[in-house]
Amino acid sequence: MFDLCVVGAGLIGSAAAKHASNFLNVCLIGPDEPDKKRSQDSPRDIYGGHYDEGRIYMRSTSDPVWAKLAQKSIPRYAEIEKECGIEIAKEVGCLSIGSHGGNYITSVKNVVEKDNLSASVLSGTEARSLFPFLSIPKDDEAVFESHSAGYISPRRLVKAQITIAKTNGCQHIQEVVRSVTRVVPDNDNPIMLMEVTTDSGTKILAKKVLVATGAFTAFRDLLGTGVSPDTKLYPLAVTKLEISKEDANKISTMPSVLYFGRGGDDWSRDYPVDPRAPVVFYMLPPIRYPDGKYYIKLGHSHDSVPKLLHTGTQMKKWFDQGPDARLTRQMADMILSVVKGVKVLSFHGDSCVVDVAPSNRPYIDLIHNQLGVAIAGNGYAAKSSDEIGRLAVELLMNGKWDTDLPQNLFYVKLKSGRGMCISKL
């Protein structure tokens, strides 16, 4: 029997297992990344958002709550790398760009000022002078973080967290969990325990369970029969545009980029738009992937393609088939609108899903005193996953809310199978 069972071996779950394994007997349950390309013929229907090499990290987000979570996590990257010997972060900087005077860039500047962060506020012309290979609208405004910003490899971060957890004695069970229930295993000693059952029928007993299963939480009985988190599941597409090593070297100073504005006059107009602003995207600089090739990656806002997923079958189909060719091409054209002087060798689309809570903040809460959740990444959680996992463990195992952020910002909302909101069990 374990003190804690963490269900979900992604970014948040692996972080939680790492932190808990410092003082508890822990098991982490979740499958490794599949070694073959996803297929509709495969029985597997659970995937991870961390099967990738690039996620942006920075401290000056437009949301002060997410900024605080990031500011707690980012300084630990070096500690994680030192402890396990796995490189997880590249400090290439982050450039946040938006319409001058717009809500987005104003919010970013407010966070920089309030949190006393080291960042430069630039005009569009100044930003373009600093990065001449980027077509930045001259009338825009930018915030540039040159330090403690860049990109992480989510794939390597998960590997690093699990490596440290296992070194501390954590047991990693590479299966998919079917259900989590409360049981009384011994009538002579009626102590309530948590029973975790996997798809193979394996049963694991633990004093407490933390569910960190992201967008897939609703498709297993993890929070109670017929109970799921109140989240919306958005299918997101990305395009990875291959360039040569020579071109990657030419633009080697390129930072990670976040854009929220009207766009440039010379940018592609055939691009899905966010109703809050004409053009919203995030873009990673050239990254060398495991296939040895260099890719620039671009993704759209979840609000720009207003489609939702409702069933496990829909989720599997989205991950197996990926985005349609038109959307992939639209995003490839946007990359070439912004990044100048590179030659396209190839491009392809890939799929992920974000689970978005009504608050646009993560759920870090207790369902009851033996069951906790750390879910709803809202598309922002990768860089902050270490702090989210740590907070969840402290709350579930020690009854402690170990941050200055108000706890009520992270309360979970649940719904029944009929879509009705319900109280926590």
Find out whether 348 and 328 touch, Cβ atoms under 8 Å: yes
Q: What pLDDT is recorded for position 191?
A: 86
Q: How confident is the model at residue 225 (pLDDT cuts 50, 70, 90)?
A: confident
Largest CA distance in the chain: 75
pLDDT at position 227 is: 93
- pLDDT score at 362: 98
| 3-state secondary structure (DSSP) of residue 301 | coil
pTM of the model: 0.95
Query: What whole-number distance in Å separates Cα of residue 60 and Cα of residue 409?
Result: 19
- Quick one: average pLDDT of 271-289? 92
Render pLDDT for 55-113 as a digit per residue (tens, 0 to 9): 999 999 999 999 999 999 999 999 999 999 999 999 999 999 999 999 999 999 999 99
Does residue 423 have a pLDDT over 70?
no
Q: pLDDT at residue 9 above 80?
A: yes
Instruction: Name the pLDDT band for 422 (thresholds 50, 70, 90).
Output: low
Residue 288 has pLDDT above 60, yes or no: yes
How confident is the model at residue 34, as a pLDDT? 79
Which of 236, 283, 273 minimizes the C-alpha distance to 378?
A: 236
Token couple for 403: 């941050």
Count other C-beta atoms under 10 Å from residue 267's C-beta: 18
Q: Which residue has the tokens 């501390």?
A: 168
Question: What CATH superfamily is the domain 94-146+232-356?
Answer: D-Amino Acid Oxidase, subunit A, domain 2 (3.30.9.10)
pLDDT tens for residues 28-64?
A: 999 988 776 555 556 777 787 888 999 999 999 999 9
* Secondary structure of residue 195 in the 3-state scheme: strand
Higher per-residue pLDDT: 189 or 21:
21
Identity at 329, one-letter amino acid code: R
User: Do residues 264 and 340 make contact, with C-beta atoms less than 8 angstroms apart?
Assistant: no
Q: Report how far residue 71's alpha carbon sits from residue 64's, in angstroms, rounded to the nearest whole number.
A: 10
pLDDT at 332 over 60: yes
Q: Which fold has domain 2-51+155-230+358-422?
A: FAD/NAD(P)-binding domain (3.50.50)
Written as six digits, the tokens of 139 are 């009338």
Residue 38: per-residue pLDDT:
57
Domain boundaries, the chain: 2-51+155-230+358-422, 94-146+232-356
Query: In this structure, what DSSP letter does residue 134 have?
Result: B
CB 23 within 8 A of CB 227: no
